[in-house]
Chains A and B, each alone.
Chain A
Amino acid sequence: MNTLKYFLVGFLFGIVLTKSEAVSWYRIYEMFQFQSFHMYGIIGVAVATGIIGIQIIKRKNIKDIDGFPIEIQEKPRDNARYWIGGISFGLGWALVGSCPGPIFILIGAGFMPVVIVLIGALIGTVIYGALKSKLPH
């Protein structure tokens, strides 16, 4: 059960992202052309659901499944990393139409060319790791 629950949450995530076509290159392109509300609706409702859920967790001091207090990490208050990293990510997202979750989902679904995207993403991760101390954050 301990491991199974993570598998089931992932399974639901994979089905939802595929069936809503958020993993589709076409949907990402359509979003960046502002020619459909679909992707904006998905992100908007996900965030709205998340905001409500997190507010309930915080106000009612809900404990996690093991009985520990829930602490949600704050993001570091940097600047450059979000702009430069964000723009780099966006360029790649619109080029190959998949962010890290969908990369794995699409490979699972059998789209073998996406393996090249994954190899690229791992190379990009190594580049960041190697340059981290020299980059502005």
Chain B
Amino acid sequence: MSVIYQTWPWYVAGFLIGMVMLSLIYFGKNFGMSTNLQSLCSMTGLGKRIEYFDFDWKANRWNFVVVLGAMAGGFVAVHFMSDPTNVAINPKTIELLSQMGIDAPNGQLMPQALFGEQIWESPKSILILLGGGILIGFGTRYAGGCTSGHAISGLSNLQLPSLKAVIGFFIGGLIMAHFLLPLLF
């Protein structure tokens, strides 16, 4: 039984994520998490002011149910399926992080430096999380999809536009990880 507590191997995870996408296609839907951001905004009535949000968000209610399931899955996995051997990243990565003052995982998914309780008292930390969120929300809606919609669904359907988007994701990610993060920490 210990296999369920350990880090799941990439080939198991990759296969199951592919099956999640195919299941949604079989249900007559498509796999795209960032569409929920647009639906959430539309729910608030923004469609009266901004055309982009003027659509029938209720048609996307199934996707909110997927999100609720995913949240429950995250809760179960973190609280009942974890052990201290988790998040065993490369020691060289830990070394790079320590140069920026970011703590090693020690079995935790998220670094205290960015997601610890102390961030509520640090305007800089809050701005980093808020700014990261804005870049994600703006970027994914501009590009018309995120990791699920472009990297998984789009590439699986051999869509050239999705390849452009994924290359864009990596250009942005590499700039952040190599040049901007060291300036911020």
B166: chain A residues at CB < 8 Å are: 86
Q: Are B25 and A70 in contact (CB under 8 A)?
A: yes
Whose C-beta in chain A lies nearest to the C-beta of B129? A116
B111: chain A residues at CB < 8 Å are: 25-26
CA distance A62 to B111 in the complex (A): 45
Whose C-beta in chain A lies nearest to the C-beta of B63? A6
Within 38-63 of A, Cβ neighbours of B (below 8 Å) are at 38-51, 53-54, 57, 62
Q: Are A48 and B14 in contact (CB under 8 A)?
A: yes
Q: Are A29 and B97 in contact (CB under 8 A)?
A: yes
Whose C-beta in chain B lies nearest to the C-beta of A89? B139
B34: chain A residues at CB < 8 Å are: 99-100
B38: chain A residues at CB < 8 Å are: 125, 129
Q: Are B146 and A99 in contact (CB under 8 A)?
A: yes
Q: Are A51 and B158 in contact (CB under 8 A)?
A: yes
Whose C-beta in chain A lies nearest to the C-beta of B22? A53
Q: Are A54 and B157 in contact (CB under 8 A)?
A: yes
Question: Which applies to chain B's interface (DSSP): helix, strand, loop or mixed?
Answer: helix
CA distance A116 to B122 in the complex (A): 13
Q: Are B17 and A73 in contact (CB under 8 A)?
A: no
Within 83-118 of A, Cβ neighbours of B (below 8 Å) are at 83-101, 103-111, 113-114, 116-118
**B93 CB-CB contact with A under 8 Å:** yes
CB distance from A137 to the nearest CB of B (A): 8
CB distance from B41 to the nearest CB of A (A): 5
Contact size range, A: 35 or more
Q: Are A96 and B132 in contact (CB under 8 A)?
A: yes
Contact size range, B: 35 or more
Q: Are A81 and B28 in contact (CB under 8 A)?
A: no
Q: Are A22 and B115 in contact (CB under 8 A)?
A: no
Q: Are B156 and A85 in contact (CB under 8 A)?
A: no
B171: chain A residues at CB < 8 Å are: 86-87, 90
A106: chain B residues at CB < 8 Å are: 74, 109-110
Q: Are B20 and A9 in contact (CB under 8 A)?
A: yes
Whose C-beta in chain A lies nearest to the C-beta of B91? A35
CA distance A117 to B127 in the complex (A): 10
CB distance from B7 to the nearest CB of A (A): 6
CA distance A42 to B110 in the complex (A): 19
Whose C-beta in chain A lies nearest to the C-beta of B95? A35
CA distance A129 to B155 in the complex (A): 25
CB distance from B144 to the nearest CB of A (A): 7
Q: Are A87 and B139 in contact (CB under 8 A)?
A: yes
Q: Are B109 and A120 in contact (CB under 8 A)?
A: no
Whose C-beta in chain B lies nearest to the C-beta of A51? B156
Contact with B137, one of A36, A41, A108, A122 (Cβ below 8 angstroms): A122
Contact with B135, one of A23, A31, A64, A88 (Cβ below 8 angstroms): A88
A-B residue pairs, 7 tightest by C-beta: A86-B168, A120-B133, A14-B73, A90-B172, A10-B69, A108-B71, A45-B14
Name A's B-contacting residues (CB within 8 A): 3, 5-33, 35-51, 53-54, 57, 62, 64-66, 68, 70, 72-79, 81-101, 103-111, 113-114, 116-130, 132-133, 135
